[in-house]
Chain A
Amino acid sequence: MKAPAAQKHDERDERDDRRDGRSADGHDARPEGRKALTAAPSAQDAGDAGDAGDTGDSGGAGDDFDRDVLPTPPGATAGLLRSLLAPLRGRVALAVVLLLLQQAAVQAGPLLVAYAIDTAVPAFRVSDHGPLLLVAVAYLITAASSGGLEYAFITCSARVNQNALLDLRGRIFRHAQALSVDFHERYTSGRLISRATTDVESLRELLSEGLQELITVVVSFVYISALLLWLDLGLGAVALASFLPLALLVRSYQDRAGRIYRERSTAIAAVIVKFTETMNGIRPVRAFRREDANDAEFAPLNERHERTNGDALVEMARYVVGSRLVANVTVAGIVLWGAYRVADGSLALGVLAASVLYLRRLYDPIDRLGMFLNSYQSAAASLEKIAGLLAQVPAVPEPAAPRELPPTADGRPGREVVFDSVRFAYRTGGEVLPRFDLTIPAGQTVAVVGSTGAGKSTLAKLLARFYDPTEGEVRLDGVGLRDLANADLRRGVVMVTQEAFLFSGTVAENIAIGRPDATREDVEHAAKAIGAHDFIAALPDGYDTDVRKRGGRISAGQRQLVAFARALLADPAVLILDEATSSLDVPGEQAVQRAMSTVLKGRTAVVIAHRLSTVEIADRVLVMEKGRIVEDGSPRALVGGEGRFADLHRAWRESLA
């Protein structure tokens, strides 16, 4: 009976290995920090405070985000677990009762063996078939009920687990969506993704296997110890005494293995990062002949993982030997003492047989306890990270009592934008926009120019309410953005950014993100208006081409056109373009400008561009420098003047000549 236990243990151990691998690399190997190939970089354009070393600032040098440790309020982890299980109280209780009954049925076996040998045999000899009949019926009942209860318990506990996980997944997802863009810029996408995937997964493993294991182990420990004591006080006491060395063994294993496992998961994470980085950057790797250098860098990482992996397996071997030794020595001791007592008549033979059978069962789960501890440790760490994430308060919350936007003045599509004494600074300090006022009348197209780090993107993000200002208020037709319901806000303001992210799905679906109820005609109309129709029609399946599948080669410029078609379809009152045309060629950019002057005519527009060609269609130009608006006027006035804009514009005209 030892072989099966050890073997089962082996298999669990290995499964744990796998989980460990998975938890390091994502459910199917999506590493922390991985970026989808199509993903835009998690650019630190937070306030595009780029050049002056502000990257350190916007990343929040020294704040929690750098270390992937969000502050978890005391008790939040336990509180999270409680709140997940609270609605399932009834089922949890039911599962526990089922397990108690099932264990009772399972553990009755050896008792019946003892009864059969000590009572039924003598009774049968005197033709009393009663006890034997009792044994037969009882065995039948315990066999059937342990099977039935096993089924009931597994399905019941699965329901508890799955409901809790469903709840948790939903909470993480909704919370992540509710958190501000500011948060997303600081907490890298890889971390967030692994919170919602690998961390949930490790909790799933704990709930679905570990917890059942723990309860089974505890219940059977208690049952068997009680039975042993009941069968014979002396033998039971010896068995109980063996718990002490076992407990020490488990403890020391937990310490040592815990350390090794942590090392191993760091090691595999390093392997994964190097691997992913190489594969995602395969072009520069090849072009700059990095293959051999990479091989040389990969080898020590891989070796370190090999070593820690070996350490973990050796540690496990050590634990197995130790626990088996304690168990087998105890069994031998009990056999010796029991045999003596049977020989001198102070112990029934059946009791000894039952005790030995029970002892073996008693020690079976000990190996598994080690495994449970591992999965518990990793799940606890995950849960803490999740609790830390959920404890983040959305910096840009939806209003409790939203106000509605007034109907636009005389039916015109645009709306007036007012920045009223707005100031913006990062929570970590650095001021990006000193206090300023700005009014953009409805229907005006404003171009914002300035060098990297001047605060253009921050201005745009305040208007799109990706951030809330530190002081002051941004108003749309007199209503503060803070008071607008999300749906109203997005009907009012749409922002198109440089990173034209495409979601998996067809091109048509990607455009329809602008307006989900749009018909195919609407979608095609938008694409035509922006000059994207031709290239889309030339794709293998036209508008139904899956952008992530074969043949869906879509260049950076084409992606920006698709992103712009979305905005056209959304038809907002205020449109913000943040470098939205950087990868377009001149005709593409002109198509965008044409669309703005036709399809989007009358909308209020804020256009941030590196290209001065964009400025030509603007009614008004703002030149920003170090967070301040240093020039403000019509393009003609500024070009004619002596300011910075005039210089820039002259240089640009020369390049066109």
Chain B
Amino acid sequence: MPSTAATERSPAVRTLLRLWPHLRPVRARWFSAAVVAVLASLTSLVIPLVLKWLVDGPIADGDTAGVWLGALWVLLLGLAEALLFGLRRWLVARPLSSVEADMREALYRRLQRLPIAFHDRWPSGQLLSRATTDLMIIRMFLAFPLTFLLVNGVTILAGVIVMLSMDRSLGLLVLIPVIPVIVVCTVFEKRFAEASRTAQDQVGDVTTLVEESVLGIRVIKGFGRHRSQARAFRELTHRLRGTELRKARLLGGIMAVIVVLPELAIGTCLVLGTVRVADGTLSAGTLVAFLSTALALHWPVISIGFLLAMSQEAATATARYFEVMDTEPESAADDRPATAASQALPASPASPATSASPVSRATAKAPTAVKEGGLRLEGVRFRYPDAPADAPPVLDGVDLHVRPGESLALVGTTGSGKTTLTALIPRLHEITEGRITLDGVDITAMPREELRARVAVAFEDPTLFSATVGENVLMGAADRDERTDPEVLGRALGVAQAGFVHALPQGVDTQVGEQGLSLSGGQRQRLALARAVVGSPDFLVLDDPLSALDVHTEAAVEAALREVLADTTALIVAHRPSTVLLADRVALLSGGRIAAVGDHHELLRTNAEYAWLMSGAPLEPEEARR
């Protein structure tokens, strides 16, 4: 964008320059459109000149042929102007839509590959507004402010030259209000932008309140709080109204200035021009043409203010867009070819200090990896990247071994980090220290794709996507063959006791999720479980998979799940004894480490904290002190 390169210092300009790579593929069209726009504007300026010639020449002389010629010119210029305006729009319509679409797709791709920690920090609404509103603002900027800052500059320049050449003194006179109008516009834009931002924030507050009062309707009704909600709402909307009225006053003020100042100048020109026409020092045609030209420049001058404001807005939108695009996606291990087998330890986040620990000894014995099989966590420490620096880590040295084919239940108090731990295994979060191996292979050394193909997860909060029941479940399937095999689907649904799907309107082809039928918590949980087991994964991670099931269903699911677990290496987060009993052994997570591992009944007897968690029996005094 050479036209803007001159003012490199401004950060807004530098931000906007980052759009160039996206604009590049359509640059030919864009520049043609800009040229066409300049031509169209110039055409509009020429029409008054033809009128002047017509009035002063053929009309005054009664020259019929000249009148025809003049009218023909007006017609041709009019046609040209109309076509040029259309051409400009047509030239950029599709290319700029495609710029917008490409940027959106790039954003979507990037977002899908950013670390989960990023998504924890950013509400989806914030991301969405980048993908929609911000990109529209950017497209608009490329279509208008960018073009018209150029076009208006040229138009104003040309118009001024035309007016000055028609009559020097009148030309200077009509230019007088340009400076104050631009100044007032700029000042106003700033204040108006501030008021707009305030209004936007207040609309956001109102929306939040509306959202919450709809989503939390049962709480509000349950506690009879609708009056206080209505009061809060009234207060917020009144405040919003106040801001909107302030905006209107600002707008009214600026419009008044914009209307009055140029009109005064034009009025003065009219009076002086009339005197001069009467004197004979100015032709009537010149006066008409001059006034036409002056009126034609009215809008380009005013528009500079808001074009700049729109550019500013576009710069903000661009900055917001690149805020996301500049974030690093999950580390490159993804893209690396499968050097995984060679146990590329250095790729792990483990510091040299830890690799000198037992960890490196474990790798030294690589040939014995088969014996070291299963899922192994060694010295795993984890703290959330956004946690305050002085906060203790959530996991602080977890050592755990789930033997091949074994299922291990993970138990701990609410908030002890069980769910966090499950997220580390498919590398949804990166461990801070230590290492995790699957069948002896460090998970950081295998491509994420492969890791996640081997580990299937059922989350505590079961999310279904807008797709059919079948598609939702088969997402967990390993390959295409499985994905189309009705038996595989049937088996998975059977394990999860999800027979209810056959009673849905279209059976397994029923649409669910945001755009389909909404299912109860228990139903969704069963589908999520089916999704986790459908691919017969090597490793299974289940986060409290039965919490929303009623007793009957729970018992049935447990029975079916036992068969699946018989030869699967599984880690199961459990709150209840019934879930724990699915597993071969239990591990107790306490204070960020594994406090005990063993058989359920054994731990019930020997470990007070475990007994307390599972049966609620108070801690025995001497054990509690321990």
Contacts and interface: CB of A to CB of B under 8 A. Distances in A.
B522 interface: yes
Interface in A43-58: 43-45, 48, 50-53, 55-56
A648 B551 contact: yes
B74 A286 contact: no
Contact of A343 (B59, B277, B575): B59
B377 interface: no
B90 to A, nearest CB: 5
A67 interface: no
The interface residues of chain B, by DSSP majority, are classed as helix
Nearest to A144: B260
A47 B96 CA distance: 51
Contact of A557 (B300, B414, B463): B414
B144 A14 contact: yes
Contacts of B515: 33, 273
B267 interface: yes
Interface in B297-315: 298-300, 303, 306
Contacts of B58: 339, 343
A184 B278 contact: no
Given A279-B127, A284-B463, A317-B89, A353 B55 contact: yes
A218 interface: no
B108 A275 contact: yes
Interface in B415-438: 415, 419, 423, 426, 428
Contacts of A135: 270-271, 274
B104 A314 contact: no
Interface residues of B, number: 198
A321 interface: yes
A298 B598 CA distance: 47
B522 A50 contact: yes
Contacts of B68: 336
A44 B97 CA distance: 40
Interface stretch (B39-47, B401-409, B563-571): B39-47
Contacts, number: 596
A320 B253 CA distance: 31
A1 B212 contact: no
Given A276-B128, A317-B93, A51 B204 contact: no
A613 B577 CA distance: 11
A504 interface: yes
B520 interface: yes
Given A288-B452, A299-B105, A305-B101, A452 B40 contact: no
A278 B92 CA distance: 31
A63 B578 CA distance: 41
A563 B223 CA distance: 11
A34 interface: yes
B44 A3 contact: yes
Given A117-B284, A184-B214, A343 B64 contact: yes
A451 B216 CA distance: 26
Interface in B80-122: 81-83, 85-86, 89-90, 92-94, 96-98, 100-101, 104-105, 108-109, 111-113, 116, 119, 121
A240 interface: no
A93 interface: no
Contact of B288 (A146, A275, A353): A353
Interface stretch (A120-128, A405-413, A520-528, A626-634): A120-128
Contacts of A556: 460-461
Contacts of A349: 55, 59, 284
Contacts of A514: 223
Nearest to B96: A313
A28 B129 contact: yes
Nearest to B129: A29
Contacts of B255: 147, 150-151, 154
Nearest to B499: A51
A174 B63 CA distance: 74
A1 B466 contact: no
B375 interface: no
B338 to A, nearest CB: 15
A136 B128 contact: no
B183 interface: no
A184 B237 CA distance: 23
Given A55-B520, A121-B277, A287 B452 contact: yes
A46 B152 CA distance: 61
Contacts of A248: none
A122 B234 CA distance: 65
User: What class of interface size applies to chain A in its complex with B?
Assistant: 35 or more
Interface stretch (B3-11, B132-140, B358-366): B132-140
Contacts of A295: 105, 108-109, 112
Contacts of B513: 277
Contact of B45 (A3, A189, A190, A278): A3
B248 interface: yes
Contact of B207 (A26, A162, A294): A26
Interface stretch (A4-12, A81-89, A414-422, A438-446): A4-12
A324 to B, nearest CB: 3
B466 A273 contact: yes
A346 interface: no
A221 interface: no
Interface stretch (A376-384, A429-437, A484-492): A484-492
Given A29-B133, A155-B245, A557 B415 contact: yes
B536 interface: no
A162 B240 CA distance: 9
Contacts of A317: 85-86, 89-90, 93
A580 B276 CA distance: 90
Interface in A437-494: 449-452, 464, 466, 486-487, 489-491, 494
B551 A651 contact: yes
B318 interface: no
B210 A196 contact: yes
B148 A7 contact: yes
A262 interface: no
Contacts of B109: 291, 295
A652 B576 CA distance: 11
A147 B81 contact: no
Interface in B199-231: 200, 203-204, 206-208, 210-230
B551 A494 contact: no
B31 interface: no
B414 A558 contact: yes
- Shortest 7 CB-CB contacts between residues of A and residues of B: A328-B78, A4-B299, A490-B224, A53-B503, A158-B248, A321-B86, A324-B82
5 contacts: A28-B133, A174-B230, A280-B463, A556-B460, A583-B547
Given A55-B518, A328-B74, A343-B59, 17 more contacts: A1-B44, A10-B143, A25-B132, A36-B215, A125-B278, A158-B248, A177-B226, A271-B132, A283-B423, A286-B428, A316-B89, A328-B78, A553-B384, A584-B575, A585-B575, A590-B616, A655-B577
